[in-house]
Structure 1
Amino acid sequence: MKISILVFGKNNFSATLPDQIRYATTFSVEVIDNLNQAVSRIQMTPPDIIFVQASLDGSMKLCSWLKKQTKLSWIYCILFEDRPQQLTDRNKYGWQRELEMSATALKQGADAYIWYLIEEKTDYTLAELTANHGLILAQLTVGLRKAQKYQDLIRTNDMLSAIALVDSLTELKNRRALAWELPREIKTAKTEKTSLSLIILDIDHFKKVNDTHGHLVADRVLQLLSQRLRYNLRCQDTAFRYGGDEFVILLANTTDEEAVVVARRLNRVVSEEPFSLSSKLTLNITISLGTACLQAEDDNQGVSLLHRADQCLLEAKATGRNRIIASNYLCHVPHLKVASS
């Protein structure tokens, strides 16, 4: 991975950093000497590691600000002490002053505090400068480990989230995913004043399939149905397995009339072609569907919207199955009954 390093300091400061940092192809180094610009950059594209030049105006503010950002706590911040007065005090008062300054820097938000020895400004020996650079590289290694662990954690969390939100049998999103996405879609629709509809559907006489042919065949029917749903949805539509043989289709930017068109297509692609379970078993499957469109008075979690669509589905089942019942809409669909609930 390529490590991103933000240097909050002057160009002449960054020019004195070890060559292993300035010329390494594995690092991406950016230099900023303005506090507001640095904060904006960190918020927009957080770096993995931050080098802070203590003598630059705003250095302590940046460390303190970063410490308060919970979502940015993984960034490793190294404060380089190059202020002449602090170096003078250190030489005058010895290790006690150094410990006091280190404690203060760590309390203010730095993860590491390094007394920076610059060859051009002092009479430090080659051994001292080499040791100082060695300390910088060692702290950089610590930051690299932290960045790597964070990225590994993000990948693991993404994988676990994907597993938690996907139905293992059908590979569609599951009910937990719907509970997370539906409120977001409702918020978007209300904010942008766009339409939002959904469809609830289930398989007609699915219990009979289960009882007659067993769970393995029933599971295969669910898988084949899910494939047909997935391949016949628009780009803005999202299918969820709601539970058992019941599915929800979330239709963004879709009016109630358009939802019926989608429902009609899904009903047709399921009923017109038998489901081939094996060379010896083919089943004719139909589905019943209920549709509903978001109304101004609907709650933000989607409970009322789901309830209306579910009531339409129940009516479709009660009035003969293999049909669409649409809330707040009435039209005629060839070969199907579509009524207003």
Structure 2
Amino acid sequence: MDASVLVVANQQFLTKFFDLISNIVMGTVEVSSDPDAVLSWVETRQSAVLILQATQPGSLQLCRQIKENSQWGWIYCILVNDRSETVSETLLPDRCLELEARAAALEGGADSYLQLTPEKTGVPMVVIAEKRLLKAQIKAGLRGVEFYYKLQQTNDILSTMALADPLTDLNNRRAMEWELPRQIQNARTRSESLSLILLDVDYFKSVKDTYGNQVSDRILQLVASRLQHNLRSQDTLFRYGSEEFLIILSQTDVEDTKIVAKRLQRLIGDQHFNIDGKLALQMTISIGIATLNSDDDTKGESFRRRVDRNLLFAKSIGRNQIFAGEDDLVNG
């Protein structure tokens, strides 16, 4: 498995076990003798498996700190005691000491605790079995991390699918509900203007009733494409409803928003929509405009209600109109 392993131990430990660990891991094996420097190391490199020499001061605390951090909790921590520096093992039977040490390690957040017998004093078969156990634990850690990565990739794909409109490939309403509060916060932090354009394809139901779903779906795809390819880099486009599209315009006041709205109105209305080379339909859009106010809520609900009211007014006065509120009718 191609993953990185960080071993935190003294030179004596590394001399005994580095070759064994290197033969297990296809990725990089890095070493450190300073537990205090590991947190900054993990922050920049995020090794998949962390092997800590249990007898080093601070090893258990280090393991606990990593597991308590939500960004690093997936790192697999193995505490290894090679018993070469254990000075109190004669005070209690070996089995009791091992169980207490293992319990303390697992309680502290370690994923595994191994106690290894020095080759010079141990029974050869036991030494071999313990090395096999170490190898198995490292592989188990790598499998767990690999599963975590695959799960993250799956979650990323599902998140993308959940925020995308399958017909137009635009961001959907759920994505807008996440993005708008973020842009509101940014605008207020930077003291910048923020505006919304909400547009509706006029008489869309009549097109659907007359020509069917395939033609109406194609109209929406073409409208989305025209809008997407004619917006500025700071504009964010969403499919808001069936035939409604919402645009967030950052760093844009009401006057500049009117200019953008007029351009989009001409973009849709001046050129026919050709469907499969057999049908050409002329479509228009009605547009509502709203600009962020100081008393709008942080989620943007009042902001959206205002632009929605303005769109309804634009539609009520004859379609193919732009309305910015407070009797501010923008001639198309």
Do these two structures clear the TM 0.5 threshold for a shared fold by scoring above it? Answer: yes
Q: Write the deviation string for residues 128-169 of structure 1: whole angstroms up to 9, x where unpaired.
A: 544333222111110011011101111111111111111111
User: Which of 300, 304, 307 is the equivalent residue of 2:305?
Assistant: 307
Q: 1:283 is aligned with what amino acid?
A: L
**Contact 2:173/2:240 (<8 A) preserved:** yes
Q: 2:160 is aligned with what amino acid?
A: A
Matched residue, 2:250: 252
Matched residue, 2:7: 7
Distance of 1:257 and 1:2 partners within structure 2: 55
5+ residue gaps, structure 2: none
Matched residue, 1:262: 260
Alignment of 1:195-274 (within 5 A): 195-274=193-272
Alignment of 1:1-341 (within 5 A): 2-10=2-10, 13-22=13-22, 26-82=26-82, 84=84, 86=86, 89=89, 93-117=93-117, 122-124=120-122, 127-327=125-325, 336-337=331-332
Moved more, 53-62 or 151-160: 53-62
**Contact 2:3/2:25 (<8 A) preserved:** no
How far 1:10 sits from its partner (Å)? 3.8
Partner SS, residue 320 of structure 1 = coil
**Contact 1:198/1:293 (<8 A) preserved:** yes
Distance of 1:239 and 1:90 partners within structure 2: 71
Moved more, 107-116 or 77-86: 77-86
How far 1:327 sits from its partner (Å)? 4.5
Q: 1:234 is aligned with what amino acid?
A: R
Distance of 1:263 and 1:32 partners within structure 2: 60
Count of aligned residue pairs for this structure pair: 332
Q: Write the deviation string for residues 43-63 of structure 1: whole angstroms up to 9, x where unpaired.
A: 455321111122222111112
What is the Cα-based RMSD across aligned positions, in Å? 2.7
TM-score by length of 1: 0.87
Distance of 2:90 and 2:50 partners within structure 1: 24
Distance of 1:256 and 1:4 partners within structure 2: 53
Partner SS, residue 276 of structure 2 = coil
How far 1:270 sits from its partner (Å)? 1.0
How far 1:69 sits from its partner (Å)? 3.2
Partner SS, residue 27 of structure 1 = coil
5+ residue gaps, structure 1: none
Partner SS, residue 51 of structure 1 = strand
Q: 1:6 is aligned with what amino acid?
A: L
Q: 1:31 is aligned with what amino acid?
A: V
How far 1:91 sits from its partner (Å)? 9.4
How far 1:102 sits from its partner (Å)? 1.4
